[in-house]
């Protein structure tokens, strides 16, 4: 009886925790359609005004284009560099390896204000501060660790005999990397690309320091936030959230297919037909 | 083979290594360098002076900001850890694998929403005639001032850190071997004693690491103390932004940054020691 | 040695301070089925990995058809290996797994698929060609790994405990398949295993290793009948080791005084002198049990316990003055006729021809 009570209490508590986490997200969604300029209860009525205002604001449009322009190369570069770093950590033993991994993984733990100041002062000596390049470079530094961690987790699942088997079948190390390691990591590479794109799309502090007049979307939001109350923030937030979730859903679909494959492997006798078809589609 | 692998690893090792050396380590080291430079006519001039250090460290306003930041970050770590632990226990022990995965997915959702938007949203909840006070007045209670206070800052910090901390704790707790818990029950330890004598010691690393994450996030965040805490008294990150953005005093800001980094390094080492130290 | 296909010439392997394989030389003949056997950590897998080029010997060299393989990386060797974990590529179809080695040799897609498919059909996997390897059963995967290694038509196939993950029934079937494949193809198999059954049932010759050292090389029969030393005798476990001091060296046999009386042991090439201590062993399946001694050497013993292995029974007898139990192997029928109960006193006896000195017989 006591136990069951504790259990129910735990569930209720967990529910409240999730409410706390999700409340601001939900509120911003609701207020983005609220006719009242000031976010307060009771709601005044439905409007699309803020979305209309947002997506006709040239500053927002420009920022949006810039964010996309930055996040794609950032995702590409961080995924490639992250893969190199993860593979080195996985495959090779060398002196100072733990220092190497530390250097690779440390950036997200440095407060973004400090990263911003460091990047600003350093890149301005290279005459890069205030350029889009500065945002791109900083974002790769911040996003690379996420890519490395995700790919490293995938590599940890790889039987080390797999590479040896490939060498044994006369594939050189370079061929092995291309024909064995990369295909093995494919899902995590896609996931790392999506996540790093999201990291770049969401980062505001360092970008705010180094971007100068080249605002990205979150920097624009920060500027709005510094100004007066603006429901436009809710509209942008909701739009960005929706597109991020879509990206994540695509990423999940990718790894979901991987899961279906593995599930089929557990029941080798009679895999369901649908799974079989999708598997063949993937593997051929 | 060893000479072979060492030749093979350079093409893979060098690109990420050079990138992080050039664009991560050097900028941080450069901060240290410019803390000895001076600003002449709003321009940075190479120099070898201690006056920035002297200027910052001799002010009581700097030290009060330091104390304030430390207290807020520690508060955030404690509050977040305590708030998330019951939920993490609940998720780790009392729900099915499926439900847990679903819950963890919901915990990841906030990572894909702008922190800025969430903080802005909290303003609507916490302001004097905001949602919380509106609800309080419905049940006949007086409104409370919540925005522009340390409480507001803490709400922001918890918003930032809670999903991550819950995630870390849940994963740490879920890894505990169920047999150990059953063994404890079998040896006549009740639920409460099991929690304190078996689960907590086993979950210590994840508890400490989670708290450390919360501390680091709160220590460096400038959004919550500015837009929920009202910006006064300032935190160290507020100080860096004010010093950088107004007056181009980058060297002085660099001093603050270095003090922050040192604080974080010492705290992290202490926490890691606490988490993994006495396990041999 | 010169006509051996593979020559292992004074090869040793050290990892830091740890010696995985001490200096070892032996040859492997064309078309031979060689098993390397030993418990885990004995260096058998290291030996195999050195052959494949996955480890470089610390000393000595390995020659294939007279060509030194020294410094040759694994991807330049033609010594395909079948892994214990199989190491199939999970992201490739069965057909592409088999064709991988051909692809790396630059064989065009059409030819590659034709040859891979031929091998899949040969191993009764034709219908699974387009499946993902993860959808196959353990035994099927085993055969895919075999096809992948054999499709390149190597002269030597290396196998690292390939059957250890299979259940007993499947393992026996795979043993038969491996043996017949090896006969049919006429190529050399080097087969690493910890299982005596696998090694003795398939191999032409067996190498027994322990702690990095080769203890004995020989045909299964030779090893079974004449273990080279105490280690092999205990490892194979079908003999009892006794100790005595030499009393008289005769033409055919040597008389020894032991704790249980005088014994006769086949002389072989025994070269010990009068009074010297000597170990000898008695084959368990050449000992007779009864109420009366039937052979020259006999002891009175107490029956302790028994265990069934197939249709044979191993008896454990306690003999006063001997530390180890005396092991006796009898056909089940004979054992039933004896009608013994634990604790019964019996007489065990054996001819001089059933007892040998270590390393005594060729």
Cα–Cα distance measured from residue C238 to residue C225, given in angstroms and rounded to the nearest whole number? 9
Say if the Cβ atoms of A171 and C104 lie within 8 Å.
yes
Q: Is residue A122 part of a domain?
A: yes
Angle between helices A2-31 and B115-126 (to 10 degrees): 100
Q: Is residue A5 part of a domain?
A: no
Residue of C45, C69, C73, C75 for testing the chain A interface, max A β-carbons within 10 Å = C75
CB contact A270 to C (< 8 Å): no
Residue of A155, A170, A254, A280 for testing the chain C interface, max C β-carbons within 10 Å = A170
Name the strand (E) or helix (H) holding C46.
helix C44-52
Which pLDDT band, with edges at 50, 70 and 90, does B42 fall under? confident
CB of A211 within 8 A of CB of A135? yes
Q: Is residue A27 part of a domain?
A: no
Instruction: Answer yes or no: is pLDDT of B272 > 70.
Output: yes
Q: Which residues contact B20 (CB under 8 A, 6 or more apart)?
A: A103, A104, A107, A141, A144
H helix runs in chain A, sequence order: 2-31, 49-54, 58-91, 97-105, 112-125, 132-156, 160-168, 173-176, 182-184, 186-202, 205-210, 217-226, 232-266, 273-283
Q: What is the pLDDT of residues B31-40, one digit of tens each?
A: 999 999 988 8
Q: Kindly tell me the burial class for residue B142, based on how many C-beta atoms sit within 10 Å of its own C-beta (0-12, 13-18, 19 or more).
A: exposed
Q: What is the pLDDT of residues C7-55, one digit of tens each?
A: 999 999 999 899 999 999 999 999 999 999 998 889 999 999 999 999 9
Quote the pLDDT of residue B231: 81
Cα–Cα distance measured from residue C14 to residue B277, given in angstroms and rounded to the nearest whole number? 34
Which pLDDT band, with edges at 50, 70 and 90, does C130 fall under? very high
Chain A hits for C103, Cβ within 8 Å: 179
Maximum average pLDDT range among A216-225, B259-268, C260-269: B259-268
Say if the Cβ atoms of C134 and A264 lie within 8 Å.
yes
CB contact A198 to B (< 8 Å): yes
Which one-letter DSSP state was computed for residue A178?
I
In chain A, which among 30-89 make CB contacts under 8 A with chain C?
A: none
Q: Looking at the 3D structure of chain A, how many domains does it have? A: 1
**Chains that contact B by 3+ CB pairs under 8 Å?**
A, C
CB of B124 within 8 A of CB of A23? no
Q: Is residue A220 part of a domain?
A: yes
Question: Residue B255, Cβ neighbours under 10 Å: how many?
Answer: 27
Q: What is the pLDDT of residues B170-197, one digit of tens each?
A: 999 988 888 888 888 888 888 888 888 8
| Mean pLDDT across B256-278 | 89
C137-151, C267-281, C283-297: which range is least confident on average?
Answer: C267-281
Which one-letter DSSP state was computed for residue C228?
S
As a whole-number percent, the residues of chain B with pLDDT over 70 amount to 96
Q: What is the pLDDT of residues B193-231, one digit of tens each?
A: 888 888 888 889 999 999 999 999 999 999 999 999 888
Instruction: Answer yes or no: is pLDDT of C294 > 80.
Output: yes
Q: Domain extents for chain C? A: 6-230, 238-357
Check whether the bond before A42 is cis (ω within 30° of 0).
Answer: yes
Instruction: Answer yes or no: is pLDDT of C125 > 80.
Output: yes
Which one-letter DSSP state was computed for residue A34?
B
From first to last of the 284 residues of chain A, give the pLDDT tens digit.
556 777 888 888 888 888 888 888 888 888 888 777 776 667 777 878 788 888 888 888 999 999 999 999 999 999 999 999 999 999 998 888 999 999 999 998 899 999 999 999 999 988 888 888 999 999 999 999 999 999 999 999 999 899 999 999 999 999 999 999 999 999 899 988 988 998 898 899 999 999 888 889 889 889 888 887 678 888 888 888 888 788 777 766 665 554 444 444 443 333 333 322 233 222 22
Say if the Cβ atoms of A100 and B9 lie within 8 Å.
no
Q: What is the pLDDT of residues B88-121, one digit of tens each?
A: 988 988 888 888 888 888 888 787 788 888 998 8
CATH classification at residue A171: 1.10.3720.10
CB contact B248 to A (< 8 Å): no
CA distance C71 to chain B (A): 8
Quote the pLDDT of residue A57: 86
Residue of B101, B110, B116, B182 for testing the chain A interface, max A β-carbons within 10 Å = B116
Which one-letter DSSP state was computed for residue C35?
E
Cα–Cα distance measured from residue C149 to residue C127, given in angstroms and rounded to the nearest whole number? 19
**Chains that contact C by 3+ CB pairs under 8 Å?**
A, B
CA distance A167 to chain B (A): 13
Quote the pLDDT of residue A282: 28
Quote the pLDDT of residue C28: 95
Nearest-Cα residue of chain A relative to residue B85: A14
Is CATH 3.60.140.10 correct for C238-357?
A: no
Q: Is residue A128 part of a domain?
A: yes
Name the strand (E) or helix (H) holding C297.
strand C297-309
Host domain of residue A246: 54-282
ipTM attached to this prediction: 0.88
Quote the pLDDT of residue A1: 53
The per-residue pLDDT of chain B, averaged, comes to: 87
Cα–Cα distance measured from residue C133 to residue B249, given in angstroms and rounded to the nearest whole number? 63
Which pLDDT band, with edges at 50, 70 and 90, does C360 fall under? low
Say if the Cβ atoms of B4 and C55 lie within 8 Å.
no
Q: Look at the block and give the residue holding tokens 């508590």.
A: A13
Partner-chain residue, chosen from B87, B118, B158, that has the shortest CB–CB distance to A25: B118
Residue of A155, A264, A283 for testing the chain C interface, max C β-carbons within 10 Å = A283
Q: Look at the block and give the residue holding tokens 């010759």.
A: C205
Say if the Cβ atoms of A169 and C152 lie within 8 Å.
yes
Chain C hits for A168, Cβ within 8 Å: 52, 54, 74-75, 77, 79-81
Cα–Cα distance measured from residue A102 to residue A114, given in angstroms and rounded to the nearest whole number? 18
Cα–Cα distance measured from residue C245 to residue C262, given in angstroms and rounded to the nearest whole number? 10
**One-letter-per-residue 3-state SS of C159-213:** EECCCCCCCHHHHHHHHHHHHHHHHHHCCEEEEEECCHHHHHHHCCEEEEEECCE
Say if the Cβ atoms of C55 and B1 lie within 8 Å.
yes
CB of C39 within 8 A of CB of C194? yes
Chain A hits for B119, Cβ within 8 Å: 24, 225
CB contact A39 to B (< 8 Å): yes
Quote the pLDDT of residue A237: 86
CB of C128 within 8 A of CB of C94? yes
Q: Look at the block and give the residue holding tokens 């504790």.
A: A6
Which of the listed CATH numbers 3.10.270.10, 3.40.50.300, 3.40.50.1970, 3.30.43.10 matches domain C6-230?
3.40.50.300
Cα–Cα distance measured from residue B50 to residue B37, given in angstroms and rounded to the nearest whole number? 8
Which one-letter DSSP state was computed for residue C291?
S
Q: Which residues contact B5 (CB under 8 A, 6 or more apart)?
A: A91, A92
| Mean pLDDT across C270-282 | 84
Q: Is residue A184 part of a domain?
A: yes
């Amino acid at each position: 009886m006591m136990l069951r009570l504790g259990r129910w209490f735990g569930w209720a508590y967990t529910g409240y925790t999730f409410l706390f986490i999700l409340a601001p997200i939900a509120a911003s969604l609701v207020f983005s359609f609220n006719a009242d300029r000031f976010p307060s209860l009771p709601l005044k009525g439905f409007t699309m005004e803020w979305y209309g205002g947002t997506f006709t604001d040239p500053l927002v449009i420009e920022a949006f284009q810039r964010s996309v322009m930055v996040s794609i190369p950032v995702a590409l570069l961080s995924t490639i560099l992250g893969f190199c770093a993860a593979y080195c950590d996985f495959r090779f033993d060398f002196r100072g390896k733990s220092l190497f991994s530390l250097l690779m993984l440390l950036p997200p733990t440095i407060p973004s204000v400090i990263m911003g100041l460091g990047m600003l002062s350093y890149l301005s000596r290279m005459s890069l501060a205030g350029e889009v390049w500065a945002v791109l470079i900083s974002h790769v530094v911040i996003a690379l660790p996420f890519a490395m961690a995700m790919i490293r987790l995938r590599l940890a699942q790889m039987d080390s005999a797999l590479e040896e088997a490939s060498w044994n079948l006369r594939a050189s190390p370079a061929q092995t990397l291309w024909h064995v390691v990369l295909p093995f990591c494919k899902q995590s590479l896609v996931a790392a690309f999506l996540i790093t794109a999201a990291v770049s799309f969401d980062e505001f502090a360092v970008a705010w320091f180094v971007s100068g007049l080249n605002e990205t979307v979150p920097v624009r939001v920060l500027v709005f936030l510094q100004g007066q109350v603006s429901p436009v923030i809710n509209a942008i937030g909701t739009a960005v959230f929706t597109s991020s979730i879509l990206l994540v859903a695509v990423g999940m679909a990718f790894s979901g297919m991987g899961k279906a494959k593995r599930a089929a492997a557990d029941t080798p006798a009679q895999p369901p037909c649908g799974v079989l078809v999708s598997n063949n589609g993937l593997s051929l | 083979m060893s000479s072979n692998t060492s030749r093979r690893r350079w093409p893979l090792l060098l690109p990420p290594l050079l990138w992080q050396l050039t664009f991560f380590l050097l900028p941080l080291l450069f901060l240290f360098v410019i803390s000895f430079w001076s600003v002449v006519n709003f321009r940075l001039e190479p120099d070898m002076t201690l006056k920035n250090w002297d200027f910052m460290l001799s002010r009581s306003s700097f030290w009060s900001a330091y104390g304030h930041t430390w207290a807020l970050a520690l508060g955030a770590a404690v509050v977040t850890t305590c708030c998330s632990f019951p939920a993490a226990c609940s998720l780790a022990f009392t729900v099915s694998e499926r439900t847990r995965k679903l819950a963890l997915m919901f915990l990841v959702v906030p990572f894909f929403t702008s922190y800025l938007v969430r903080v802005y949203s909290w303003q609507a909840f916490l302001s004097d005639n905001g949602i919380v006070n509106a609800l309080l007045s419905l049940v006949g209670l007086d409104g409370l001032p919540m925005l522009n206070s340390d409480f507001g800052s803490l709400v922001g910090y918890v918003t930032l850190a809670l999903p991550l901390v819950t995630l870390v704790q849940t994963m740490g707790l879920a890894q505990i071997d169920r047999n150990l818990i059953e063994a404890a029950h079998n040896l006549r330890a009740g639920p409460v004693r099991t929690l304190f004598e078996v689960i907590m010691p086993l979950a210590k690393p994840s508890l400490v690491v989670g708290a450390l994450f919360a501390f680091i996030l709160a220590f460096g965040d400038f959004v919550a103390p500015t837009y929920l805490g009202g910006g006064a008294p300032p935190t160290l990150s507020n100080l860096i932004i004010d010093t950088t953005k107004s007056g181009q005093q980058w060297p002085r800001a660099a001093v603050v940054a270095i003090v922050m980094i040192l604080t974080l390094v010492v705290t992290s080492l202490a926490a890691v020691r606490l988490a993994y130290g006495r396990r041999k | 040695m010169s006509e051996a296909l593979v020559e292992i010439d004074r090869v040793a392997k050290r990892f830091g301070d740890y010696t995985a394989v001490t200096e070892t030389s032996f040859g492997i003949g064309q078309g031979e089925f060689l098993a390397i056997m030993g418990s885990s950590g004995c260096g058998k897998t290291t030996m195999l990995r050195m052959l494949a080029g996955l480890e470089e010997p610390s000393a000595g060299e390995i020659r294939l058809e007279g060509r030194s393989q020294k410094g040759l990386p694994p991807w330049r060797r033609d010594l395909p290996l079948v892994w214990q974990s199989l190491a199939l590529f999970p992201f490739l179809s069965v057909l592409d797994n088999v064709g991988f080695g051909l692809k790396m040799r630059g064989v065009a897609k059409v030819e590659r698929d034709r040859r891979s498919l031929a091998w899949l059909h040969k191993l009764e996997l034709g219908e699974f060609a387009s499946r993902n390897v993860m959808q196959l059963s353990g035994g099927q995967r085993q055969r895919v790994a075999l096809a992948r290694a054999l499709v390149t038509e190597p002269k030597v196939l290396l196998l690292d405990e390939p059957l250890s993950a299979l259940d007993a029934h499947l393992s026996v079937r795979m043993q038969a398949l491996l043996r017949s494949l090896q006969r049919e193809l006429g190529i050399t198999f080097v087969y690493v295993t910890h299982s005596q059954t696998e090694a003795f049932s398939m191999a032409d010759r067996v190498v027994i290793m322990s702690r990095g050292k080769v203890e004995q090389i020989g045909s299964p029969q030779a090893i079974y009948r004449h273990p080279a030393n105490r280690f092999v005798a205990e490892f194979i476990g079908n003999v009892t080791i006794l100790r005595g001091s030499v009393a008289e060296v005769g033409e055919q046999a040597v008389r020894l005084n032991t704790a249980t009386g005088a014994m006769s042991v086949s002389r072989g090439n025994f070269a010990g002198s009068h009074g010297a201590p000597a170990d000898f062993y008695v084959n368990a399946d050449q000992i007779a049990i009864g109420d009366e001694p039937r052979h020259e050497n006999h002891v009175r013993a107490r029956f302790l316990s028994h265990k069934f292995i197939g249709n044979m029974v191993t008896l454990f007898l306690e003999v006063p003055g001997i530390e180890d139990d005396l092991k006796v192997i009898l056909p089940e029928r004979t054992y039933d006729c004896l009608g013994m109960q634990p604790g019964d006193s019996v007489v065990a006896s054996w001819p001089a021809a059933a007892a040998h000195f270590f390393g005594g017989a060729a």
